[in-house]
Structure 1
Amino acid sequence: MAPKRAPSSKAGAEPKRQRRMMMIAEKVKLLDMLKEGRTFAAVARQYGMNESTVRYIKKEKANIRKTATITFCKSAKRVVTARNKTIVRMESALAEPEDDSGDCEEDEVDVEDPQPGTSSDSPRKKWQFSASKGWFAKFQKRYGLKSVSLQGEAASADTIAAETYVNETFKKIISEGGYRPEKVFNMNETGLFWKRMPSRTFLFKEEAKASGFKAYKDRVTLVVCGNAAGFLLKPGFIYKSKNPRTLKNKNKNLLPVHWMYNPKAWITKMLTSDWFHQCFIPQVKVYLAEKGMPFKVLLIMDNAGGHAADLSYSGVQMEFLPPNTTSLIQPMDQGVIRAFKTLYTRNSLANLVSSVDAAQEDDDFNLKAYWRQYTIATCLQNIQKALQEMKPATINASWKKLWPEVVYDDKGFTLAEIQHSAVQKAVQLAAILGGEGFADMTTDDVNELLDCHSQPLTDEDLEELMKSASEEEEEEEQQETEEVVSPTGLTLERLAEICRLAKDLQEQSQEWDDDMVRSPRLGQ
């Protein structure tokens, strides 16, 4: 066998160029030189690289300049890797809506150009594609795709039943009842993890590894109800205990929500009845009286298990949506609930930033300590702020799929615009806070947090929630029994108070009595 060829050792041979990583700022400067009229060869000599590399950078100038404008750190590096053309074409096809005209049954694709730079004359061959987790994550990001876990009605939405209800049943109900938009209401409930941050933040991680019940799983249920004219009622609020410590001695009738409680913090038929009679009826009566309208309303609900089917009240007509149509036509599900949660998240971060600003001179400020002190009272304050930002026009817009005839032009923000604006603001506030998971928070992180509110609790989570509710109630009862009763008899505090009053009396007598001998004795 012939020996392997030894490496060339000619005196004039040039050493192999080492691959050099260029920073974004350097690439921008290179592009500016080309823009000034310098040749590719001249620029390549100045930077000590191949002319082909300079041409490639010129080809990518749009991406490079875009990256430079949004990069916070001018020394950040950007690596541009040439991607397989076949994979690019395959991803484009995958991102297109599904075509029912044919089915793709093969796991292999025809490859004309297996690697960038190979000749187009190379023979076509089958290439087995194996998708990794990293590729799928980047594919989602490139095409703006979201991972949506469809559960319950969303997974089996009945489009035909929804269309039939909108075009026939609902129109008939409105016509026969003579209902105006002010008299037609929709109610739905939603979960809210009131003390949760995006999963990459250190606050979330600290709570996740903490012993005992995890605060980021502490959930409440909100009962949201609004009418087709854009009026949003005070929401029902279901907490895990009756009287939490932070609301002790507070008049719950003055809260921005209708307070209810359940160890699992979720809706039941009994709580639905409570909300209907103690929250819905009183508010609607006042609302219609102010409008000068008689009390005759239509209340639309879905057929969820926790909704009582036997609710009745004079002047109220109850209607239930067909099964599996909630995600398609129920107004409160058409953006109202999600927009509210987005505003709540933004307000939570704004509250945190305000606390940091107020304590700028206090070196002892601790973000984790603040978050542990974020109580249900703080939660209610942020809920109130979010409700105040929900405009009537945006509530009215949520009825577009069920009752499009009553939706008027929105001169303010739409539900989608409110959500987008609040998400962007949340990202900006997170950047102000800084720290792990905050400084580099993205809109995807915020949207992931919003999606998690729809995730059901596991049996283990429910057990922990009920356990924490029981412990909280025991602490409340113990505090009530341990309250110190006012002591009787002459104590040191009362003796000091007597001496103070005697001194005041003596000074007053000296001021009023001309007898300088008698007046000082009055206080003795």
Structure 2
Amino acid sequence: MTQVELQMVIKLYLDNKGSQHPRFKYNLSDKQWTENFVKRHKHLLTKRHCQNIKRKRAEKTDEEIEAYFENLKKTFENIQPEFILNYDETNLSDDLESEKYIFARGTKYTEMNINFTKSAISIMFAATAAGILMPLYVVYKSDRIYDQGVIGGPPGIIYNRTKSGWFDGPTFQDWFNKVIIPWASEPKIIIGDNLLSHLNVEVIRACQKYNIKFVFLPPNATNITQPLDVSFFHPLKVAWRKILKEIKLKHPKRNCVEKSKISRNASKTFKRHEVK
């Protein structure tokens, strides 16, 4: 965690309490206070330089992956499949850059002339080991949610928005409260990425209150340890690209996918992908 990230954790904590620290502007601690905070809790915290390592060294060994799954096996003891949940955030874009085409060998500029600019939505998927999909949670890149953008979506879908179009601390907490908490009637395990931009104090407290245990995927290994990424997202995005191509060829003069149609088109994609 960087110093700035620690400052943001402190700010989120104060904001959620409804408190305004007299010394902090907008509840954002200054550098000196943050350094003193680390010193006061030196039995728990320490400041060290983070060494950049080569990608090859960052990659996980077979032993590390085996140790992760062995620990996972122990964690799952006495927990039924319907109480084990995997979550992951993905991004559906209208960009066709990842699609492959055939060109004459030696072609210098491999471009496709379709009049669309890149836009995207973020979706949080969560599914149990028993195969039950939780309500989808969509985040638009916008200052507000427009009525047209929520028409025609799958049943139970939840909408939100951020300036970046990605999940942040407040939206992750809202997803956790609206999707995970209602599901958590028994001791549960949820598996996902350990992203500081997602977790905050309130989510951790809710885990303690509702007996929810986080299991974080090992860093630099989500491409082989994230079940949703490996078995679900690839075919989903193949179906999404087919929908986009149909739209773009049918309406060549449009600049982008209309926001009012994104939810409806996403719903069509889920049906083709048999998301229920």
TM-score normalised to structure 2 length: 0.63
Which is helix-richer, 1 or 2? 1
When the two chains are superposed, the root-mean-square deviation of aligned CA atoms in Å is 3.3
Partner in structure 2 of residue 302 of structure 1: 193
Point out where structure 1 has 5 or more consecutive residues left out of the alignment. 1-150, 208-214, 286-293, 357-366, 396-524
* Whole-angstrom CA distance in 2 between matches of 1:321 and 1:164: 12
3-state SS, counterpart of residue 322 of structure 1: coil
CA-to-aligned-CA distance 1:333-390 (integer Å, 9 cap, x gap): 213112111111112234456xx4xxxxxxxxxx333x33631232212211222344
Instruction: Flag the structure with higher strand content.
Output: 2
What CA distance in whole angstroms lies between the structure 1 residues aligned with 2:141 and 2:170? 15
Decide which structure has the larger Cα Rg and report it: 1
Partner in structure 1 of residue 130 of structure 2: 229
Q: Secondary structure in 2 aligned to 1:197?
A: coil
Please state how far the C-alpha of 1:158 moved relative to its aligned partner.
4.4
Deviation at 1:308, TM superposition (A): 0.3
User: Contact (CA 8 Å) 2:191, 2:217: kept in 1 or not?
Assistant: yes
Partners of 2:272 and 2:90 in 1: CA distance: 19
Change (3 A) 1:307 1:327: same
Q: 1:339 to 1:273 in 2, by over 3 A?
A: same
Aligned amino acid, residue 216 of structure 2: F
Note the C-alpha offset of 1:274.
1.0
Task: After TM superposition, list the pairs within 5 Å mapping 1:247-266 onto structure 2.
Answer: 247=148, 257-266=157-166
Counterpart of 1:368, as a letter, is: P
Q: Give the share of equivalent positions with the same residue, in percent.
A: 19
1:45-103 Cα offsets, whole Å, 9 max, x none, are: xxxxxxxxxxxxxxxxxxxxxxxxxxxxxxxxxxxxxxxxxxxxxxxxxxxxxxxxxxx
Secondary structure, counterpart of 1:281 in structure 2 = helix
Cα shift at 1:254: 7.5
Contact 2:243–2:269 under 8 Å retained in 1: yes
How far does residue 191 in structure 1 lie from its aligned partner after superposition?
2.5
Displaced runs of 4 or more, over 4 A:
151-155, 250-256
Q: Are the counterparts in 2 of residues 222 and 236 from structure 1 also a CA contact under 8 Å?
A: yes
Paired with 1:340 and 1:246, the residues of 2 have a C-alpha distance of 25
Q: Does structure 2 conserve the Cα–Cα contact (< 8 Å) formed by 1:184 and 1:297?
A: yes
Match of 1:368 among 215, 229, 252: 252
2:59 is aligned with 1:156: yes
1:246/1:376 contact within 8 Å kept: no
- 2:266 is matched with 383
Cα deviation, residue 246, structure 1: 6.1
CA distance in 2, matches of 1:257, 1:272: 15
2:252 maps to a residue whose letter is K
Instruction: Write the distance in 1 (CA, Å) between the matches of 2:268 and 2:56.
Output: 31
Shift of residue 268 of structure 1?
1.4
Equivalent residue letter for 1:319: V
Helix, strand or coil at the partner of 1:182: helix
Quote the residue 1:334 is aligned against. Answer: 230
- Counterpart Cα distance in 2 of 1:190 and 1:266: 9
Query: Is 1:166 aligned to residue 50 of structure 2?
Result: no
Does the residue aligned with 2:252 lie in a helix, a strand or coil?
helix
The separation in 2 between residues aligned to 1:329 and 1:381, in whole angstroms, is 31
Residues 492-523 of structure 1: per-residue CA shift (max 9 Å, x gap): xxxxxxxxxxxxxxxxxxxxxxxxxxxxxxxx
Aligned-residue offset at 1:391: 4.6
Q: SS of 1:223's equivalent? A: strand
Matched residues in 2 for 1:246 and 1:154: separation?
Answer: 48
In structure 1, the partner of 2:23 is: none
For residue 111 of structure 2, the aligned residue among 191, 200, 211 is 200
Does the 8 A contact of 1:154 with 1:324 survive in 2?
A: no
Match of 2:240 in 1: 344
- Aligned pairs, how many? 206
Q: Which residue of 2 aligns with 1:100?
A: none
- Give the match's secondary structure for 2:186: coil
Query: In the alignment, is the contact (CA less than 8 A) between 2:151 and 2:263 conserved in 1?
Result: no
Q: Partners of 1:339 and 1:276 in 2: how far apart?
A: 26
Counterparts of 1:478-517 in structure 2 under 5 Å? none
Superposition deviation, residue 259 in structure 1:
1.2
The equivalent position to 2:84 in structure 1, one of 171, 184, 187, is: 184
For structure 2, the 5+ residue unaligned runs are 1-53, 98-109
TM-score by length of 1: 0.35
Q: How does 1:64-463 map to 2 (within 5 A)?
A: 156-167=59-70, 169-175=71-77, 178-193=78-93, 195-198=94-97, 200-203=111-114, 206-207=115-116, 215-216=117-118, 218-243=119-144, 245=146, 247=148, 257-282=157-182, 284=183, 295-308=186-199, 310=201, 311=203, 312-313=206-207, 314-351=210-247, 356=250, 367-369=251-253, 371-372=254-255, 374-391=257-274
